[in-house]
Amino acid sequence: MLFRRTALALSTLCLAFSASAQDIASGRWIDLTHAFNEQSVYWPTAETFTKTEVYHGHTEGGWFYSAYNFSAAEHGGTHMDSPIHFAEGANTTDKVPVGQLIGLGFVIDVSRQAAANVDYLVSVADIEAFEAKHGRIPAGAIVLLNTGRAGLYANRSAYMGTAERGAAAVAKLHFPGLSADGAALLVDRRIGAVGIDTPSIDYGQSKTFSAHVTLMTNNIPAFENVADMSALPPTGSTIVALPMKIEGGSGGPLRIVAHLPGR
């Protein structure tokens, strides 16, 4: 079963590259990653990003030298949730096949719904409406859910529902996510990965994390805190989403970009 998934993902990867390799120089790259800094969004209970200077300046030897240390929780900023994050025995960060992290992009826009309801859950109906217009989401696809909220990232209370930190802040989280039924439909479509422009694939008020559990028991990773997707077409992009390869990790900082063919 797992082998079949990997084979499918790899064949999709080959398709994606054969379709776009010739125009990779003439196409456009869109960065879907928030820069990591002291303002990066982390879960209220997680260690935040810190960067400390080792050295920055001219040396006695005559050359310039710059180096820093950094530390952070795996889950914060633009990052990947590896399947093991919510599924015992599922893939750790280093074991997620690269074929699941590079693939054709399918961008489902729910920004209208999310603007009307901060606790919005992306539904089966949303995914089916997308497919009615753009065709069935293929195996190996990278599905990105655009709630239109990436622009709020710098304002934590607007983006997450609260700027407070600590365990008591978790109950105050408000942001949209993916419904359990929606997650099950994406599992059925055998997608490679799913991404969202909020802090979690489950909505802020979730108590059961059922989208995480549904996806991750099927070895599907989730990309969270994805940056502004408004420049992406619903179909036709190629997504490259490569996290830091943390051995045995449950997630990790992610650089995610999209390639658009043409001009």
In order, the DSSP letters of 153-222 are: TTSHHHHHS----SGGGGGG----EE-HHHHHHHHHTT-SEEEESSS-SS-TT-SS-HHHHHHHTTT--E
- Which residue of the chain is nearest Zn ion when measured via CB? 75
Q: Quick one: 72 or 180, whose CB is closer to Zn ion?
A: 72
Q: Total binding residues for Zn ion by CB under 5 A?
A: 3
Output phi, psi for 138, to 5 deg.
Answer: -85, 165
Rounded Cα gap, residues 79 and 246, in angstroms: 12
Single out the segment in contact with Zn ion by CB under 5 A; choices: 75-83, 102-110, 138-146, 150-158. Answer: 75-83
* Least distance in angstroms from the C-beta of 164 to Zn ion: 19
Q: Which of residues 217-256 bind Zn ion (CB under 5 A)?
A: 224
Strands 79-81 and 251-260: antiparallel
Q: Quick one: 233 or 248, whose CB is closer to Zn ion?
A: 248
Q: Quick one: 78 or 238, whose CB is closer to Zn ion?
A: 78
Rounded Cα gap, residues 173 and 26, in angstroms: 42
Q: Quick one: 12 or 147, whose CB is closer to Zn ion?
A: 147
| DSSP β-bridge partners for residue 5 | none
* Least distance in angstroms from the C-beta of 124 to Zn ion: 23
* Least distance in angstroms from the C-beta of 65 to Zn ion: 34
Among 12, 32, 34, 81, binds Zn ion (CB under 5 A): 81
Q: Quick one: 81 or 109, whose CB is closer to Zn ion?
A: 81
Rounded Cα gap, residues 111 and 199, in angstroms: 16
* Least distance in angstroms from the C-beta of 195 to Zn ion: 11
Among 75, 156, 190, 259, binds Zn ion (CB under 5 A): 75
Rounded Cα gap, residues 65 and 76, in angstroms: 29
Single out the segment in contact with Zn ion by CB under 5 A; choices: 44-52, 80-88, 126-134, 165-173. Answer: 80-88
Q: Quick one: 5 or 75, whose CB is closer to Zn ion?
A: 75
Helix (H, G, I), strand (E, B) or coil at 70: strand
* Least distance in angstroms from the C-beta of 77 to Zn ion: 10
**Residues 6 or more apart whose Cβ sits within 8 Å of residue 76:** 40, 41, 42, 43, 46, 48, 49, 225
Q: Which positions lie near Zn ion, rule CB under 5 A?
A: 75, 81, 224
